[in-house]
Structure 1
Amino acid sequence: MNSYCKNLFEYNRRHTRTVVVGGVAMGGTNPVVVQSMTTAKTEDALACVDQAISIFEAGAQLVRLTAQGRGQAENLSVIKQMIASRGYMIPLVADIHFNPEAAYIAAKYIDKVRINPGNFASADNMRDKLGELIKICKECKRALRIGVNHGSLASRIVERWGDTPAGMVESAMEYLRLCREFDFWDVVVSFKSSNVRTMVEAYRLGAATMDSEGLNFPLHLGVTEAGSDEDGRIKSAVGIGALLVDGIGDTIRVSLTESPESEIPVARTIIEYCATRTIQNYIPTSQESLPYDPFVFSKRSATSVPIVVGGEQGTITAQDALNGAQGWVGVTLDDFEPEFLEWLEENPHRELVVTSENNNWTAEIRAAFVVMLRNKLPNPMIIRKNYEEKEYEKLQIYASIDFGSILIDGFGDGVWIENFGETLPEKLGLDILQATRMRMTKTEIISCPGCGRTLFDLPTTARKVKERLGGVAGLKIAVMGCIVNGPGEMADADYGYVGAGEGKVTLYKGGEIVERNIPQEQALERLAELVAE
């Protein structure tokens, strides 16, 4: 497999079949669908109804609820009826882990069921368990999501494929091949991770693998446990945006450790900004024999040069450079003519500042790096873009999509972000570099958005952990709402703070439990002590 989309240098949406969920069509030529998930306990029907309606009115088109057991699954019928009695037709999705019986019940009542192949069934009974669920889905005209999570792969998958994007893809493919065998096609697929780089690689590999086997199922995009505030928004924009700009993705969920309603405007902004790529200028670059592997991260090697801060440092044109002028060389793809490429070969220490005015900015900047790689030119390359955006939150999202979609492939030796011609403070650039793991300058807080299983106030707790321990470069701390998903989904973290019961927290270090059932009011202090040890 050489690529994951039709053309890396020309926008083409990935061709998928259409799947209809409660009247909402996704995939095919349909607009990208926005969804979110309730945080109320599924046993509390009234709270779930109120929150589902609030999420829907905020702009979500699908609403997901957890159903961890038979009782919660049965209550979905009550919730669905109560929503309808208020005059709303909201497509509902059940989120299932570990419990096939709950999935069977949920499929009888609501529009779509999400199962996690890492914990739905064992290898011995997978065929029977999935077959029973598909039988009900066919009878009741329900859709199914095969939702892989990086942190909860089955042990048999990890033993063979490792804790890798390849393992994530194989976890889904086992189920998707059975769906084909059972002639069931109302399926959506996801490959989520809290590690943005892993997430992007998994979706790319998943799209390529499905296409190679003739399985054109729609994709649900999301960075799981993205966190809160600007960090959560930036991580989500980088991961989701890096895929949407290449035409991959049919429905998205921005997972923030905040109210579900706050996710919707972020999702809308990501979708709208990525849609601007559909009209672009022609980019004369071929993706045949790519000089890099888009499925495996590798930092482009560049000449090491001193960092210049302030002073009179400016940019010159490629022609100025050919004429002997000094300074950073501002270039676009059009400048990479034979004479200039020869000059670059003779001057490997000269820094380039690469820009583009193409609507498909990502594709043209990517093409510039491909030209450099094909010609084996190691000049340092700074990525530069100027925006004209008055709303800072939108600017954060735009820059995260643009710069993140380049950095995620290991391209770029510096970022230069401007707004209305003024260079922005370095914080936004550093946050984008952190999200892509190109440069770690602070603690990464991995926190889930919460659901009906959550056992404490997640947003407040995550912020307290961030305030107390947020300044350690390279440190990763997971704040997870429950014991169901927490241990698996925080696999990428150094330390974990996981809800273990009402008012109780279990602490992890290196994936191993170090203290169980600590009173919540003592847990943060004990976590800080663990980090300091």
Structure 2
Amino acid sequence: MDTQAAAALKGIYCNSITQYSRFLTHEVNIGGVKMGGKQPIRIQSMTTAFTMDTEASIAQSIRMIDAGCEYVRITAPSIKEAQNLLEIKKGLAAKGYHTPLVADIHFTPNAAELAAKIVEKVRVNPGNYADKKKFEELNYTPEAYEKELARIKTKFAPLVEICKANGTAMRIGTNHGSLSDRIMSWYGDTPKGMVESAMEFIRICHGMDYHNLVISMKSSNAQVMVQAYRLLVKTMVAEGMNYPLHLGVTEAGDGEDGRIKSAVGIGTLLEDGLGDTIRVSLTEEPEYEIPVAQALAQRYENRTQIAEEDLENPDFDLPAQYSPFEYNKRESAELNTFIGGHQVPRVILDLSDQNLKDVNILAAAGYNYSPILDKYNMGDQSIDFAYLGDKLPSFNFPGNLKQLYNYQTWLTLNDKTNCHPLFTLKEYISASQKDVALNLVSVKHRDLDGDDFANIPFDKTLVFVLETTTEFGMMDQRSFFFKLMNAGIDTPVIVKRSYQFDDAESLAQKELKTQLYGATDLGALLLDGFGDGVWLDAPQVSTKFRVSTSFGILQATRSRISKTEYISCPSCGRTLFDLQETTQMIRSRTDHLKGIKIGIMGCIVNGPGEMADADYGYVGTGPGKITLYRGKEVVKKNVSSDNALDDLIGIMKDDGMWVEKEIV
């Protein structure tokens, strides 16, 4: 039995969850640009121009291709757009561009069947290709459900035959927010429902001997997305399939939030060895998505591949309370009601390289000093620990900001109030004096097997600071958590990741990599329920950037909420307003609403379902017309876009969810 099959039988979704090994998939040919197998991770994006505007679509496609896009996706919501894909294709060819085109289809099988004769790949959404969505609960007997599957095959099979005849590839793309009423009623709003939604269509293709398939499981919730992909792979392998995976977090948003949320989801799966093509969905111009996707993919181009024969046995003893398919936070001791247990993950910032004579250095850490009041004002993104190393500040720190010092320096402090030591493992074992509240000890995974670790005097003041220097840092740290859990050790753990980039790189490149690598490495562990704190060590970027990135990772993993969350689609030819402009307008008036999730959708295809778990929704329903939602409930229809944001705020006020923005 091969490694993949053996792993699947043990409930593992990839070759190894403790060592890096790329999961090999079936190779698919998409217009001569192959995907899957041992091919590189492919980069793609989607146009936002109106599909019937041929010249605009061509120009935008060229900008995307020049940026490094290897597949260009274009929406085809009806026959006329599908037909115009031929003109776009001819126009690109005339300018010397032959990049494969992908038609994006939702509700219109006839458009899909036409597009499949023109372009190299079609994308269908099983949630709305053969079903209508009315948010109704339906009751089926097993026999009735089987009849529904037969109905779907009748509607879907003609497209499969056309794709076979024309050598056209297909992506079966499930979206968490657009699961059909049938799937929702039978399987629930779950990763299992997402997987079965795709598998129904995959099984039809498989049974018709059509294998030019790519599969995706997208959600705006990175945790749901990761669980769904993992369960999909396990399900496919159990049924003798290994189709390539298209990775993406849908409606990720823009700016920092969009990049971090995308990296949490996509990066976690890439670390697992999963993923053959990626699309980063940002509410920005599509060519801006490409460098982000490239930075994610390039990290794995030269990643050392563990040989199959050297992989750990799939019988690796996973902790009983761990499941890769559902979220369970590791149980840790709660120390002084501050860290561990049910407390939110804490944020640590290294200030040892800063001017500790300047009281304003804490502004970047979320503490603004008022000389008039002689007090600090905390923000929603205020750090919890400041690491000062061997340096002493010349001013008093705010009372709720804990200071960390290297052990030998901590010993010299006359006043140790709110000050805690950071030990090496050897220092902690031999220390004659320790803190009565919190003692932090730096450890690495390999320390678990040493004599020093065996001699640790465990008590309810101990916190581990977990570091790593290996190439497979995330899996190295994940293994540490597995072994702690198997040993019954509930000591809280702060996860520390350190990054040093080439000095020749620009600041923007260093910042992007800090965001993406940090979101991947810390985010993957947080999604698995591991970590009572995060310490992002990246001295080449500013302290403010490190703080913002740390809190952004916690927000994207839903581990600690510190700001408003925007679930905004990346736009396409169906969009009925300027998404970038509208998102910024809404953000400017609502970005102080901590914990509120606002969905901003350009059309009804990406409407109430696609908003998933948004608290409120702003959805385009016609030129200049907006429909407003509370959750998935329509509150106001066809509101003028001139008044829609005011009306949305009015709904929040009626719900008691609105607070006025403080003027600083």
Q: Per the shorter chain, which TM-score range? A: over 0.9
- Unmatched tracts of structure 1, length 5 or more: none
- Find the counterpart in structure 1 of residue 106 from structure 2: 97
**1:240 matched to 2:266:** yes
- Find the counterpart in structure 1 of residue 429 from structure 2: 322
Q: Is the 8 A contact 2:425 2:453 kept in 1?
A: no
Over 3 Å counting, the alpha-carbon distance change for 1:6 and 1:513 in structure 2 is same
**1:57 matched to 2:66:** yes
Counterpart CA distance in 2 for 1:114 and 1:72 is 14
Counterpart CA distance in 2 for 1:27 and 1:75 is 29
Q: Is the 8 A contact 1:283 1:364 kept in 2?
A: no
Over 3 Å counting, the alpha-carbon distance change for 1:276 and 1:476 in structure 2 is farther
Counterpart CA distance in 1 for 2:618 and 2:326 is 30
Q: What percentage of residue pairs aligned between the two structures are identical? A: 46
Q: Is the 8 A contact 1:242 1:404 kept in 2?
A: yes
Give the counterpart letter for 1:157 in structure 2: I
**1:297 matched to 2:327:** yes
| Deviation larger for 177-186 or 123-132 | 123-132
Q: Normalising to structure 1: TM-score of the pair?
A: 0.96
Per-residue displacement from partner, 1:375-427 (whole Å, max 9, x unpaired)? 11110000012212342122111111111111110100000111238994422
**1:459 matched to 2:580:** yes
Over 3 Å counting, the alpha-carbon distance change for 1:107 and 1:274 in structure 2 is same
Q: Is the 8 A contact 1:276 1:359 kept in 2?
A: no
- Find the counterpart in structure 2 of residue 468 from structure 1: 589
- Find the counterpart in structure 2 of residue 398 from structure 1: 517
| Deviation larger for 103-112 or 470-479 | 470-479
Aligned positions of 1:131-530 closer than 5 A: 131-275=157-301, 277-278=303-304, 288-291=316-319, 292-306=322-336, 307=338, 309-310=402-403, 312=405, 313-324=420-431, 326=434, 327-337=439-449, 343=455, 346-389=458-501, 390=507, 391-420=510-539, 424-425=543-544, 426-530=547-651
- Find the counterpart in structure 1 of residue 394 from structure 2: none
| SS at 1:172 equivalent | helix
Over 3 Å counting, the alpha-carbon distance change for 1:481 and 1:258 in structure 2 is same
Q: Is the 8 A contact 1:35 1:252 kept in 2?
A: yes
| SS at 2:643 equivalent | helix
Over 3 Å counting, the alpha-carbon distance change for 1:392 and 1:423 in structure 2 is closer
Deviation at residue 329 of structure 1 after TM alignment: 0.6
User: What is the aligned-residue RMSD (CA, Å)?
Assistant: 1.9
| SS at 2:291 equivalent | helix
- Unmatched tracts of structure 2, length 5 or more: 1-9, 132-147, 339-384, 386-401, 406-419, 502-506, 655-664
Deviation at residue 338 of structure 1 after TM alignment: 6.8
Q: Normalising to structure 2: TM-score of the pair?
A: 0.78
| Deviation larger for 333-342 or 74-83 | 333-342
Deviation at residue 487 of structure 1 after TM alignment: 1.6
| SS at 1:5 equivalent | coil
Deviation at residue 310 of structure 1 after TM alignment: 1.9
| SS at 1:500 equivalent | strand
| Deviation larger for 298-307 or 36-45 | 298-307
| SS at 2:566 equivalent | strand
Deviation at residue 230 of structure 1 after TM alignment: 0.5
| Deviation larger for 263-272 or 2-11 | 2-11
Counterpart CA distance in 2 for 1:365 and 1:121 is 44
Counterpart CA distance in 1 for 2:68 and 2:288 is 10
Over 3 Å counting, the alpha-carbon distance change for 1:419 and 1:338 in structure 2 is closer
Per-residue displacement from partner, 1:26-47 (whole Å, max 9, x unpaired)? 0000000000000111111111
Give the counterpart letter for 1:15 in structure 2: L
Per-residue displacement from partner, 1:185-239 (whole Å, max 9, x unpaired)? 0000000000000000001111111111111100000000000000000000111
Q: Is the 8 A contact 1:97 1:116 kept in 2?
A: yes
| SS at 1:351 equivalent | strand
Aligned positions of 1:39-54 closer than 5 A: 39-54=48-63
Q: Is the 8 A contact 1:146 1:175 kept in 2?
A: yes
Q: Which has the greater radius of gyration? A: 2
Over 3 Å counting, the alpha-carbon distance change for 1:346 and 1:285 in structure 2 is farther
Give the counterpart letter for 2:70 in structure 1: Q
Over 3 Å counting, the alpha-carbon distance change for 1:279 and 1:322 in structure 2 is farther
Give the counterpart letter for 1:6 in structure 2: N
Counterpart CA distance in 1 for 2:607 and 2:458 is 54
Give the counterpart letter for 2:633 in structure 1: E
| SS at 2:609 equivalent | helix
Per-residue displacement from partner, 1:455-495 (whole Å, max 9, x unpaired)? 00101111221221122222110000001221210121010
**1:10 matched to 2:36:** no
| Deviation larger for 194-203 or 156-165 | 156-165
Q: Is the 8 A contact 2:511 2:541 kept in 1?
A: no
Counterpart CA distance in 2 for 1:529 and 1:451 is 29
Count of aligned residue pairs for this structure pair: 533
- Find the counterpart in structure 1 of residue 134 from structure 2: none
Counterpart CA distance in 2 for 1:202 and 1:392 is 30
Q: Is the 8 A contact 1:224 1:255 kept in 2?
A: yes
Counterpart CA distance in 1 for 2:542 and 2:306 is 26
Counterpart CA distance in 1 for 2:315 and 2:303 is 18
- Find the counterpart in structure 1 of residue 117 from structure 2: 108
Deviation at residue 346 of structure 1 after TM alignment: 3.5
Counterpart CA distance in 2 for 1:275 and 1:402 is 17
| Deviation larger for 151-160 or 337-346 | 337-346
Counterpart CA distance in 2 for 1:502 and 1:340 is 68
Deviation at residue 2 of structure 1 after TM alignment: 2.2
Aligned positions of 1:73-84 closer than 5 A: 73-84=82-93
Give the counterpart letter for 1:138 in structure 2: K
Counterpart CA distance in 1 for 2:523 and 2:302 is 17
Counterpart CA distance in 2 for 1:421 and 1:10 is 29
Give the counterpart letter for 1:49 in structure 2: I
Deviation at residue 523 of structure 1 after TM alignment: 0.9
Counterpart CA distance in 1 for 2:165 and 2:312 is 50
Per-residue displacement from partner, 1:480-514 (whole Å, max 9, x unpaired)? 00012212101210100000100111000021000
Give the counterpart letter for 2:563 in structure 1: K
